[in-house]
Chain A
Amino acid sequence: MNETSHQTGSEVWQDLVSTALVGTDRRTPPAAGEFDAPGDTPAAALLSSAALMSAWRRAGSAGSAYSAELVGEAEGGAQTEGRDGAAPAAKSAAPDPRPLLSTATSARLTALVASRSETLPEYLGAAAKTGCRAPAELLPPLFDYARGSIAVRADLMKLAGPRGTWLAKQNQQWSTFTRYAAAPDPEAWRSDKPHERIGYLTWFRGKDPASARVLVQEAWTQTGPGAGVLAAETRAAFVEALAVGLGPEDEPFLESALDDKSRQVRAEAVRLLATLPSSRFAERMAARLHEWVRVSTEGTAVLVTLKDEPLAATEDQTRDGIGEGWVQTEDERRLAKLQPSYWLEDLIASTPLAAWEHYGLLPAELLRATAANRWEANSCHRGWRSATLRQKDPAWAEAFCAVNAANDMLELLSDEAAERWCLGVVASHRSQYSIHSTPIILSRLGRPWSDAVCQALLDSIPVYLPNATRNDVARFFGMDNLAGRWMPPSYVDAVAAKAEEIRAGLPLWAEDLDDLASMLRDRALMLAELDTV
């Protein structure tokens, strides 16, 4: 002991470890102190010393490793850079005065999220309407669920309240959810992360469109130290955010955005201006359309023709999105110069669809313009398609769906149009085509489903593919059990009655209806729980 008494404890331990590594056969162990029993070998003596010293180390390590002087370092370095590298956030969550969900509801929610239940979205929506808040410990699993489901985010963030906003900011995988929060942190607008600014802007625009536009205008002209120039992508996204609550008051700003040096920004401005029929832009485009394009009918055929005189590029046209300024590759530029079809397509894509009313034909009639007509028909179809998607025009989308029910067009339908469309498909359901398209259509319906749709679906069952396989049956109700999720629970009796009616002849269908009925029963019970809150 005397020999080592000048060593610190850590030095003694290090000495023991290095001797143990080399072996006591090759190196004399440090003096073992009062713990070596008579007759002990050097190795045994080393182990005895190590037993004492390791207890000493363990007793001290957890406390001493994080002594007060290290606190400063931890705050400087580790605090800003989380386990996941997310941005620094407010230290603590703001209080939420709303009452907690009832124990039964919380337990139900726990079970639904644990089993990733199909009924979770509806339940979240109903729970969000109660004006209560979710227990904090449920937020991480719910957030993980919401990573795969954009549709539930608004309800979830409402239920989660300020605690949820705080928590989402702590984890990069959840940080985009904050844009769905009921009241995002105004600090988000000053963030250096574009997605946080856009999230805030979109929310604010919904609340107060005029003030939100002023924010964008200010950001546009912001210069000076630290302000920096906004990236073209960010500017374009700001303009895109104005789509929420768009009105005639936005026209002057959007008109000025047509002079922006970025093509992306100009494209967004054109897109929004085209949906404002009273805008100067819309008037200019309509005037061009009516000047250059003639529409005539020959029997049921529709002919779209372009004026014979050559099209000349002018600065005005380029500013409004027609011609050279819009092509991206050298090839396109060459083609654009050669072919008037590009001009026509550009013109149609950027012209308010309302300008076509001038010709006295419905969208469905115009779409009858076929390739047999002239090359113009192709350009027209492409142009209309772009215009419909850009201007999110439900009437044109419905006309397109009648020709071909593509997903992007179905999304634009109004709820009533989607329902009309769905009823049409169900009424003419005997083709393979409709089996495959039913899930798409069902997924587009307003939720919960209307009585007309539910009744039509049930009525169609005996006649619909009596020889259906189990797969066909599953498809009919849509992927992910759409009927179970969105048929109103009040249909349970009708479903059960239908099952009995067809059980003898169509046992497969009847079983499927049994499952549907039991799911509706569960949902009715769960929703009733919420009503008693």
Chain B
Amino acid sequence: MAERWTAAQVNSLAPDPAGQKAGAKLGVPGPWSGIGYLEDERLLWGDCKGSGSKPYQVTVSVADSDTAYQCTCPSRKFPCKHALGLLLLWAAGTVRDTEELPERVQAWSDSRKDRAEKSAARSVAKAEKAAADPEGVAKRAAQRAERIGNGLADLDRWLADQIAAGLSDPATLSYGAVDPVAKRLVDAQASGVAGRVRTLPGTRSAAGDAWPDAVLAEFSRLHLLCQAWTRLADLPPTMQDTVRRRIGISVDTDTVRRDGERVAGRWHVLGSRDRAAEKLTERRIWLRDAESGRLAMLLAFGAMQQAPTLALPVGAVYRAEMAFHSEALPLRAQMETGEVVTTDTAAAPAGGTLQAAAEEFAAALAVDPWQEGWPVVIADAVPDRTGELADAQGRRVPLISDETALWRLLAVSGGHPVTLFGEYTDAGLEPLTVWADGSAVGL
């Protein structure tokens, strides 16, 4: 039997802190009527009294791989506070199991199944069409490669021009100077590079006095991408895939499912992080196979004011098969088949030292110089309120976190050694999950 979610897991679905707060207010039985839950279908429903005369009708599908919400309220936030409130009630065990679905829930569920079937049929049809016309597919790919090549050649020339003229001119990295370059790259279908170019003014202002170092480093990485594209055929196949991804050529999930390396194991959910990207919320979830130590990173997106639908409880263990994207440094994966083994988060993963973490990060950079950071588990780590972490060997590293996360971490540690998961970067360690006192706590 699949277990009910934890309150923390429900909260991770909230589109923003205000939504989380509003949801928490509705996580009491008072405003609710007609609530029920059907375990077999993983469907949850209820009516919530609002300010109007008619209650809002809420329906939620809580299948792990296929979370979906529906509510009759006019909110554009997704999930809305009513769905979150209902989920909190359910997580707290207040919603009783029922055997029958109300008519409206049945209708919603049927229409979703119907849509899923149609969408599957469409993707099959698309694959068949592609298989039937290999020449057309190859031609389109060649056209795109040419466009990208032209765009990157322009970028490389622009980069060299700036270096020739000198970076000290403040106009070089103004928004007005950078935006046309980025737009050109979008036109050339190199969205990954366009995004990096667009953040250049931000990189400059965020780095403070060290901005020349930060800007030159990012310029050089862009230059490296442009150069890698011109010599793509000379690179090993997996490195080619890494360069393609960095440039912005995405691989669809069907391809990964078909061609990706499959790794079955007992995957421990190490941590999760949400970041607001351009008009999107990007969620990363890191897992590690307990036996092989293999790491995997799942990526999910939510549109504006919507939380990504993928939410795995931190600390839980899944018996699952991962399909990895082809990369020089395979990390990104998608979960193919999976069922939760335990949501008991007591067992901390095995951790290493800060020295080992630094070495792993260096090894990752050696393979993929565009890598931002590397997921690591540190054992016997003691955080302090100066915002630093010390390990058992007395090594220290700055913690990259906001005040809320730092105080949470300090509270859980209480000055005692804890196991910590985070992303190791050249600026320090961003703490994401801490294990202590018999549970995993997301930061």
Contact = CB atoms under 8 A, between A and B. Distances in A.
Interface in B139-181: 156, 159-161, 163-168
A107 interface: yes
Given A62-B361, A84-B385, A518-B31, A44 B411 contact: no
Interface string A47-59: 1111101110111
A111 B220 contact: no
Interface in A97-124: 100, 103-104, 107-108, 110-112, 114-117
B394 interface: yes
Contacts of B22: 115
A132 B166 CA distance: 65
A90 B161 contact: no
Contacts of A379: none
A91 B91 CA distance: 37
A353 interface: no
Interface in B1-42: 6-8, 11, 20-22, 24-25, 27-31
A152 interface: no
Given A93-B414, A136-B437, A59 B361 contact: yes
Contacts of B219: 20, 47, 50
A422 B230 CA distance: 85
Nearest to B387: A83
A388 interface: no
Contact of B163 (A23, A104, A116): A23
A17 B213 CA distance: 6
Given A140-B408, A166-B414, A525 B164 contact: no
Contact of B21 (A49, A53, A58, A115): A115
A111 B410 contact: no
B358 interface: yes
A68 to B, nearest CB: 6
Interface in A179-223: none
A390 B91 CA distance: 52
Interface of A is mostly: helix
Most buried by B among A21, A53, A55, A135: A55
Nearest to B427: A62
A78 interface: yes
A81 B166 CA distance: 41
Contacts of A21: 166-168, 212
Contacts of A108: 92
B221 A82 contact: no
B414 A59 contact: no
A522 B20 contact: no
B426 interface: yes
A268 B357 CA distance: 61
Given A93-B415, A117-B25, A171-B407, A54 B223 contact: no
A24 B394 CA distance: 44
A20 B365 contact: no
A63 B163 contact: no
A369 interface: no
Contacts of A24: 163-164
Contact of B416 (A46, A93, A521): A93
Contacts of A150: none
Interface stretch (B125-133, B197-205, B396-404): B396-404
A166 B407 CA distance: 12
B437 A66 contact: no
Nearest to B390: A71
B220 A48 contact: yes
Interface string B262-276: 000000000000000
A279 interface: no
Contacts of A116: 21
A60 B118 CA distance: 52
A67 B393 CA distance: 11
A518 B164 CA distance: 72
Nearest to B438: A100
Contact of A522 (B30, B223, B404, B436): B30
Contact of B29 (A26, A68, A79, A521): A521
Contact of B414 (A37, A42, A53, A136): A136
B355 A63 contact: yes
Nearest to A137: B441
Contact of B386 (A26, A78, A103): A78
A316 interface: no
A497 B43 CA distance: 35
B164 A42 contact: yes
Contacts of B220: 47-51, 53-54
A409 interface: no
A74 interface: yes
Kindly name the residue among A61, A114, A139 whose own CB sees the greatest number of chain B CB atoms within 10 A: A114
Interface in B375-427: 384-388, 390, 394-398, 403-404, 406-408, 410-412, 414-416, 424-427
B366 interface: yes
B362 interface: yes
Interface residues on A, range: 35 or more
Contacts of B161: 43
A59 B427 CA distance: 10
A107 B91 contact: yes
B369 A23 contact: no
A528 to B, nearest CB: 11
Contact of B395 (A51, A68, A111, A112): A68
B365 A55 contact: yes
Contact of B411 (A16, A50, A63, A163): A163
Contacts of B404: 140
A74 B168 CA distance: 35
B123 to A, nearest CB: 39
A110 B10 CA distance: 12
A115 B164 contact: no
A71 B94 CA distance: 51
Given A139-B411, A140-B408, A66 B224 contact: no
A92 B385 contact: no
Nearest to B32: A518
Contacts of B223: 44, 47-48, 50-51
A385 to B, nearest CB: 43
A59 B366 contact: yes
B93 interface: yes
Interface string A518-533: 1101100110000000
Contact of B366 (A23, A55, A81): A55
B93 A79 contact: no
B415 A91 contact: yes
B194 interface: no
A78 B439 CA distance: 30
A171 B385 contact: yes
A170 B411 CA distance: 10
A377 B234 CA distance: 104
B354 interface: yes
A111 B415 contact: no
Given A48-B223, A48-B227, A115 B24 contact: yes
Contacts of A60: 362
A22 B166 contact: yes
B405 to A, nearest CB: 10
A63 B358 contact: yes
A55 B22 CA distance: 45
B217 interface: yes
Contact of A111 (B24, B31, B358, B424): B24
A50 B394 contact: no
B387 to A, nearest CB: 6
A49 B221 CA distance: 11
Given A47-B159, A62-B361, A62-B425, 6 more contacts: A24-B164, A47-B223, A48-B223, A66-B397, A111-B7, A114-B20
Lowest 7 A-B CB distances belong to which pairs?
A: A23-B166, A92-B415, A63-B358, A93-B414, A50-B220, A59-B362, A518-B30
15 contacts: A24-B163, A48-B227, A53-B220, A57-B217, A61-B426, A62-B426, A63-B354, A71-B395, A90-B415, A104-B93, A111-B88, A114-B21, A115-B24, A136-B412, A525-B94
